[in-house]
Amino acid sequence: MSETVPTSEETQVKPAAKPKAEKPPAIEELPFEEFINIHYLPALTKAFGKNGVTDLHLEFANFQVRGTWAQGLRQFTVYFSKADLNAQKAFSCADAGRSPSTIEPFLIDERKAPLDLLVFGVIQRLTAQKWLQPN
């Protein structure tokens, strides 16, 4: 019985590496309007629900997300300067059905604005107004 000795070529042959599966893009990399409508508005609704707000109405138009609740007496608006989550943003809120008196910079210290931070920023601002939960 003779044994065959593998040649050096046979011992060095390695199986082909599997191609790396491409990661799907982060949701923040989706087109602006798609991100707002499919991810941001539902995430805001869920966050408000966790804070006991059940009658939240959200609208998105002209790079602005506007929310109203408490039978329209309370409102907020997140302003995007352009169709880019990382561009300048502003925030306003108003009570008793009045127009906002101040528009403030929103998340200006952040290089990127992921979904969780955009939602947290709104909840934080309205909690500071004592509209969602007592401080």
Confidence of residue 99 (pLDDT cuts 50, 70, 90): confident
Distance in angstroms (rounded) separating the CA atoms of residues 52 and 66: 18
Q: Looking at the predicted structure, is the pLDDT value of residue 18 above 80?
A: no
pLDDT by residue (tens digit) across 34-60? 999 999 999 999 999 999 898 999 999
- Mean pLDDT, the chain, as a whole number? 85
Range with lowest mean pLDDT among 4-8, 77-81, 121-125? 4-8
Give the position of tokens 């509209």. Answer: 131
Tokens describing residue 37: 């409508």
